[in-house]
Amino acid sequence: MLFNSFEFLFVYLPIVALGYFLLAGKHSHAAGRGWLAVASFFFYGCWDARYVTLLAGSVVFNFLVARQISARWHAKAWLIFGIAGNLAALTYYKYTGFFVSSLNAASGTSLSVPNIVLPLGISFFTFTQIAYLVDAHSEKIPNYRFYDYALFVSYFPHLLAGPILHHAQMMPQFNDAARMRFDANRFSAGLALFIGGIAKKMLIADRVAAIANEGFRNAQTLTFGPAWAAAIAYSIQIYFDFSGYTDMARGISKMLNIELPVNFNSPYQARNLQDFWQRWHITLSRFLRDYVFFTIGGARRHPIAPYAATILTFTIAGLWHGANWTFVIWGLMNGIGIVLVRLTPWQMPLLAARAVTFTSATILWVWFRAVSVPDAWRMTGTMLGRDGFTALLPLPEKPMLLVMTGALLFAWLVPNSQKLLERSLWTPLWRVALGVLLALSIASFEHASEFLYFNF
């Protein structure tokens, strides 16, 4: 079930919200939280009911392991066991085919590559629970009840594509009685945020997707202009697709009086790659910093340690995004780029810095999107002028060029969703604008597509 679907918007969400506030208000807070947990597992099962058992098993496994860690009996051994169990499941579902095909390519063997369906959201609920286990070992978690933990992991607004949740941000909200009463102001703000997100997805990301898809499908034959057009189209697509999902998830949660962490903060307004990664997928960057970078020695005083740890951390981040060498190389190049930023003793003027950062990110996105390393290598070379700079045509038609130009200006200049929500969104003009955006988005539901981060 997609956020951008009739079933979700007109059936599932109203029933869940109404049931939550009625049960929490008339019966008990525990009943309200239990309703949300059941609704979240149902939401996950709408994708593929077989994988509900995987999610449930993961929740039970990690809750029990965390209890053993908190009991302080062989806590380190239980922590290692828990992390290994999570990574084993993630590796099996996400990387088995990648490892087998890579082995075949390297050794000339012809092992059968298994066709394993990647469960939606497994990367997100796995990282969420690994962080929980590590904090249990550091004695940073109280003794949570099972149904609270199950809701924390399965909470449907974040379940499929983030943000990566942290117990310290979410658990107190789930147990706050004041948040279980309907709040018209929060609901209105959440609805506005949801409408903005769905418009980003349906009216921008999905419209430019055709340009990106066509370009990357013909990566080996593109000339200079079309290569840049395809790369910029994908930069726009992934920006508004992920930003749209983030706004929709936060908006849905805000309607339920629960604040999800900010996960997207105008990354195309960043002044360098390091700043970019402090704005793009913020909760993933925070997880990698706290649970990977420091673990592999990023805080050591050796002069090389933080740079080596940065490159390794981003290489791991690349592999997390997908089981393909293109993702690994993309992560590696991001890590090297951030090291170069840290080693550069001077800063460019802001507008020039933003332009260089966007251009760098666009070139790097080629490796993220390309189907294979040869395709990424060929397209990158074309964009950098290997075949000359004069082949500018054919470019997208004028209506699409206007959409792309408007989208870029929006990403570069307009305040982010958090800042916009600080303003009054329910003046007559805003109401009309939001109503029009919602109507146009709903009219596009027939052609709705999955969010890009569903694949990660």
* DSSP letters for 48-65: -GGGHHHHHHHHHHHHHH
360: tokens are 């760098």
Kindly tell me the sign of the dihedral angle through the C-alpha atoms of 321, 326, 328, 333: negative
Task: Let me know whether 42 and 124 are in one domain.
Answer: yes
Specify the pLDDT at position 390: 67
Torsion angle of C-alpha atoms 456, 58, 42, 446, degrees rounded to 10: 10
Beta bridge partners of 264: 280
Beta bridge partners of 280: 264
CA distance 412 to 88: 41
Q: Which of 96-105, 128-137, 370-379, 417-426 has the lowest mean pLDDT?
A: 417-426
Answer yes or no: is 413 within a domain.
Answer: yes
Q: Answer whether residue 424 shows pLDDT above 70.
A: no
| Higher pLDDT among residues 47 and 408, named by residue | 408
Answer yes or no: is 70 within a domain.
Answer: yes
Answer yes or no: is 283 within a domain.
Answer: no
| Alpha helices per DSSP H over 51-115 | 52-70, 75-107
438: tokens are 């919602």
Q: How many domains does the chain have?
A: 2
Burial degree of 423 (CB within 10 A; 0-12, 13-18, 19+): exposed
Task: Let me know whether 174 and 189 are in one domain.
Answer: no
Task: Let me know whether 112 and 230 are in one domain.
Answer: no
CA distance 401 to 230: 12
Q: Averaged over 130-156, what is the pLDDT?
A: 90
Confidence of residue 317 (pLDDT cuts 50, 70, 90): very high
In whole numbers, what is the pLDDT of the chain averaged over residues?
A: 90
Task: Let me know whether 157 and 35 are in one domain.
Answer: yes
Cβ–Cβ < 8 Å for 109, 146: no
CA distances from 42 to 39, 194, 331, 350 (A): 5, 21, 34, 47
Cβ–Cβ < 8 Å for 186, 255: yes
Q: Which domain holds residue 167?
A: 6-182
Task: Let me know whether 213 and 121 are in one domain.
Answer: no
Task: Let me know whether 352 and 383 are in one domain.
Answer: yes
Specify the pLDDT at position 2: 86
Active site residues: 321
Tracing tokens 């059941």 back to the chain, one arrives at 38
Answer yes or no: is 110 within a domain.
Answer: yes
Kindly tell me the sign of the dihedral angle through the C-alpha atoms of 389, 395, 400, 401: positive
Task: Let me know whether 198 and 210 are in one domain.
Answer: yes
User: What pTM did the predictor assign?
Assistant: 0.92
Cβ–Cβ < 8 Å for 225, 383: no
Q: Answer whether residue 422 shows pLDDT above 70.
A: no
431: tokens are 């109401």
Q: Answer whether residue 113 shows pLDDT above 80.
A: no
Of the candidates 251, 258, 248, 2, which has an alpha carbon nearest to the alpha carbon of residue 120? 2
Specify the pLDDT at position 447: 78
* Among candidate residues 149, 182, 215, the one where a domain is terminated: 182
Task: Let me know whether 238 and 155 are in one domain.
Answer: no
End-to-end Cα distance, the chain: 17
Identify residue 235 by its one-letter amino acid code.
S
Identify residue 206 by its one-letter amino acid code.
D
Q: Averaged over 73-81, what is the pLDDT?
A: 92
Task: Let me know whether 132 and 231 are in one domain.
Answer: no
